[in-house]
Structure 1
Amino acid sequence: MNNTWKIYMLTLISFLVGTSQFVIVGILDKVADSVGVSVSVAGQLITVFALANAIGTPVFMMATSKMDRRNQLLLALVIILLGIVSTLALPGFDFLMVSRIVLGVGTGIFVVTAYATAANLALPGRQAGAMSNISLGFSSSLVLGVPIGRVVAAAFDWKVIFWGIGFFTLLGIFAIAKTIPYTKDEEPIPLGKQLALLKNPKVAFALGVTLFVFIAYSVVNTYITPFLTSAISISGRGVSVILFALGIASLFGSKLGGFLADRLGTAQTLIGSMLVQALSLALVSALSGSVVVVISLLMLWTIAAWAFGPTQNFNLLSVAPEASGIILSLNSTFVQLGFAAGAGIGGIAVDSLSILVICWIGAAAVMVALFVAVASLGLTRTYIKIK
């Protein structure tokens, strides 16, 4: 198997891993009924997953820094398989919470290592495109995995979904063991030096950009359904169609980010992505009376937001190439912190102000990220064009 097909294989496994994370959103009501809790309480399953991913990923990446990347991938899938088995075998909501924590850690390790492995397998000048394939796998789980999971849960018990994920995870373990070559990661870095990465201005600026961009994304995405139903009066079926369309836009954005970064450079792609996000969100609030315009702007925003992710990961590899695994895990942590902060800020804004304000807040957060990015260009050379 040549390296291109190995990258595609990692993309397929990324879809599987992403489905294990996102499918819970589409079946939350059924999960809540099966374990005897309210939907709001069951929502904690999403929270603990995010926190486990944010906190556990860098800790495990530090602990496994002596491993080669193939073994890190295998470890991640074994942890995910353990989480799936416990989801299926252990009764009650408390055990389900523990299972989501295990899945959060395993998913975080796989994401970070898959990005680094794809970049290593790619041809020179095509690393960003390879990393965008991994992002494509995860975004595909939103478009296909979640609705498929909903259909399966409606026809059968929701646990059938995890039986399927567990089976294919096992196949993924064998596939990686057979096809991914031994790839030595960077030399182990002492914990003190790993934490000192945060003192590096280049790293601090880059992670600050990540944090504010994903705060913006989470503020809007978390409350996108009530926004569509109340702000522009879309019906239930219409919401499903729009969400599917936004999912398709995320797929396009994932590939577009890698394509533009390889050809135009990371600086231009990142700055352009943030400009489009901020402008789109501002116009959504200003032009909320036109349904067609709002939907078009939301799709443009989604494309730009998903183009940012793989490009920023590739940028971080250039910021600290000697510690790629650690720096990508730190970025993953800031992504999850952005998700948590954005959801909280959006909830406060919706309760105290108006649903329309989420887009203004999102636009403001992206503008903060853009300011940090532009400032870093002159001060630290964080964003450089990859020759």
Structure 2
Amino acid sequence: MRKIWLLMLGAFTLGLDAYVMAGLLPSVADDLGTTVSLAGQMVTVFTLAYAVSAPLVAGLMSGVRPRALLIAALAVFALGNALTALAPNVGVLLGARVVAGAGAGVYSALSTATAAALAPGERRGRALALVMGGMSTGTVLGVPLGVLLAEQTGWRATMWVVTGLGLVALVGLAAGLPEVPADPPVPARARLAAVTDRAVLPIVGVSFLGAVASLGLYTYLAPVLAASGGVSEHGVAPYLWAWGIGGVLGSVLAGPLVDRTGKVLTLVTALLVVLVVSEGSLPLLGAAAFPALVVWGAAGWAFQVPQQHRLLALRAERGTVALALNNSALYLGSAVGSGAAGLALSAGLAPERLPWAAAAVAGAGLVLHLAVAVRRSRRDGRCRDAAGVSTLGTYEHS
């Protein structure tokens, strides 16, 4: 598992970059002379670039060794962050975030697939959880520190730190990551089949709705807390810590739970319920929202571990493409969530109402998840009756 820690280092940097912007929005808006809602669109374009690049490169470059692609992706990521730090206006800033998002998307998809390939089957959940843990640790440690640094020296200094960490991760992978056999080239028809696979799409759809609810709302956590509890937009760092601590706990604990129990369906159901309740309670708690933020962060980050595990078990023959599609849905959901929230705020929606909208979206994801589970259970029940054996246990593990 030591090799997985190298991948975790890059994931840490991605987690820092993707979510530090939520705490920097007021500073960026003041520096560039724009509104918080417009500045928030840099999160939207980052995540859209992330969403598009992940499945595209995973499919087109499926015959290339992952190590080379991981290093190239980190190089693009570092370049995008350097351009972000130098951006003189909103237009250049948005373009720079597209470059950084493209590199991040490719790295994220390949790092999860590489981690799964490096780990034995019985420890796959832990390997996936380590990579997700790197993302969440980047949030819990890096984001609040990045916000504090920005308060002292400006938001551009934070982006230079992100750039430097990306280069450190690049050197570490170049020096220590072993070669992993490339997946066999995936024909265009097979890539299209992954996108239209009726077994894969519902899982990816639930991931999308979960990301809209969790990551989209997180982008505007500062104005939400300011409106609902008297928390200053420039004093949101402790609340980011709470959300990030929950994320680390959730992502680290989810892997062992999957490996030991195999109850991925039950785990996904429980996490979606927790997400609905914790987000819906935020406007009622105001400045006392720390426990809800911890629980929300834990559920949001843990949620993706069983989702990835299900996809690998369901479509092992094209696992990289399926994981890339899920990662794409994750960040597309973040883009849709942050974009829609920004538009809603610009249209006059009270910020304290955003958590209720997010909870409703998470509820829709729960309904979709349960509907698919019931349909699959009924179908497997018919197969069991026909074959005289039980298949429900097999489904619960998938």
TM-score, normalised via structure 2 length: 0.84
Q: 2: CA distance between counterparts of 1:228 and 1:187?
A: 48
Q: Which of these residues, 101, 107, 112, is aligned with residue 110 of structure 1? A: 107
2:30 corresponds to 1:23 = no
Q: 1: CA distance between counterparts of 2:75 and 2:349?
A: 44
State whether residues 7 and 111 of structure 2, in contact with CA within 8 Å, keep that contact through their aligned partners in structure 1: yes
State whether residues 71 and 174 of structure 2, in contact with CA within 8 Å, keep that contact through their aligned partners in structure 1: yes
- Corresponding residue for residue 211 of structure 2: 214
Seen in structure 2, the aligned counterparts of structure 1 residues 167 and 157 have a Cα distance that, compared at 3 Å, is same
Seen in structure 2, the aligned counterparts of structure 1 residues 153 and 215 have a Cα distance that, compared at 3 Å, is closer
- Corresponding residue for residue 161 of structure 2: 164
| Percent identity (aligned) | 30
State whether residues 253 and 306 of structure 1, in contact with CA within 8 Å, keep that contact through their aligned partners in structure 2: yes
- Corresponding residue for residue 271 of structure 1: 269
Q: Which of these residues, 306, 311, 314, is aligned with residue 316 of structure 1? A: 311
Q: 2: CA distance between counterparts of 1:117 and 1:16?
A: 17
State whether residues 23 and 222 of structure 2, in contact with CA within 8 Å, keep that contact through their aligned partners in structure 1: no
Question: Alignment partner of 1:66: what SS?
Answer: coil
Structure-to-structure mapping, 1:144-293, within 5 angstroms: 144-218=141-215, 220-231=217-228, 233-236=229-232, 240-265=237-262, 266-281=264-279, 284=281, 288=284
What is the identity, as a one-letter code, of the residue corresponding to 1:243?
Answer: L
State whether residues 12 and 137 of structure 1, in contact with CA within 8 Å, keep that contact through their aligned partners in structure 2: yes
* Count of residues in Structure 1 that have an aligned counterpart in Structure 2: 380
2:297 corresponds to 1:302 = yes
Q: 2: CA distance between counterparts of 1:319 and 1:216?
A: 25
Give the CA deviation at 1:193.
Answer: 1.9
State whether residues 186 and 324 of structure 1, in contact with CA within 8 Å, keep that contact through their aligned partners in structure 2: no
C-alpha offsets along residues 35-69 of structure 1, whole Å, 9 cap, x if unaligned? Answer: 44444332221121111111122222222212111
Give the CA deviation at 1:188.
Answer: 1.0
Give the CA deviation at 1:77.
Answer: 0.8
What is the identity, as a one-letter code, of the residue corresponding to 1:179?
Answer: G
- Corresponding residue for residue 338 of structure 1: 333
Structure-to-structure mapping, 1:26-45, within 5 angstroms: 26-45=23-42
Question: Alignment partner of 2:15: what SS?
Answer: helix
TM-score, normalised via structure 1 length: 0.86
- Corresponding residue for residue 374 of structure 2: 375
Q: Which runs of 5+ in 1 are unaligned?
A: none
Give the CA deviation at 1:367.
Answer: 2.6
What is the identity, as a one-letter code, of the residue corresponding to 2:369?
Answer: L
What is the identity, as a one-letter code, of the residue corresponding to 2:336?
Answer: A
C-alpha offsets along residues 88-143 of structure 1, whole Å, 9 cap, x if unaligned? Answer: 45644333222111100100111111111111222331111111111111112222
Q: Which runs of 5+ in 2 are unaligned?
A: 381-390
Q: 2: CA distance between counterparts of 1:134 and 1:163?
A: 23
Give the CA deviation at 1:359.
Answer: 5.6
Moved more, 216-225 or 46-55: 216-225
Q: 2: CA distance between counterparts of 1:136 and 1:302?
A: 12
2:69 corresponds to 1:84 = no
Seen in structure 2, the aligned counterparts of structure 1 residues 290 and 148 have a Cα distance that, compared at 3 Å, is closer
State whether residues 53 and 108 of structure 1, in contact with CA within 8 Å, keep that contact through their aligned partners in structure 2: yes
Q: Which of these residues, 39, 44, 47, is aligned with residue 50 of structure 1? A: 47
Seen in structure 2, the aligned counterparts of structure 1 residues 38 and 358 have a Cα distance that, compared at 3 Å, is closer
State whether residues 212 and 369 of structure 1, in contact with CA within 8 Å, keep that contact through their aligned partners in structure 2: no
Moved more, 234-243 or 269-278: 234-243
Q: 2: CA distance between counterparts of 1:58 and 1:368?
A: 26
Seen in structure 2, the aligned counterparts of structure 1 residues 298 and 155 have a Cα distance that, compared at 3 Å, is closer
Moved more, 375-384 or 203-212: 375-384
Seen in structure 2, the aligned counterparts of structure 1 residues 223 and 200 have a Cα distance that, compared at 3 Å, is same
- Corresponding residue for residue 10 of structure 2: 13
C-alpha offsets along residues 345-382 of structure 1, whole Å, 9 cap, x if unaligned? Answer: 55677746871633651452233233244235324899
2:123 corresponds to 1:97 = no
CA RMSD of aligned residues (A): 3.1
Question: Alignment partner of 1:201: what SS?
Answer: coil
Q: 1: CA distance between counterparts of 2:141 and 2:78?
A: 21
Give the CA deviation at 1:22.
Answer: 2.2
- Corresponding residue for residue 75 of structure 1: 72
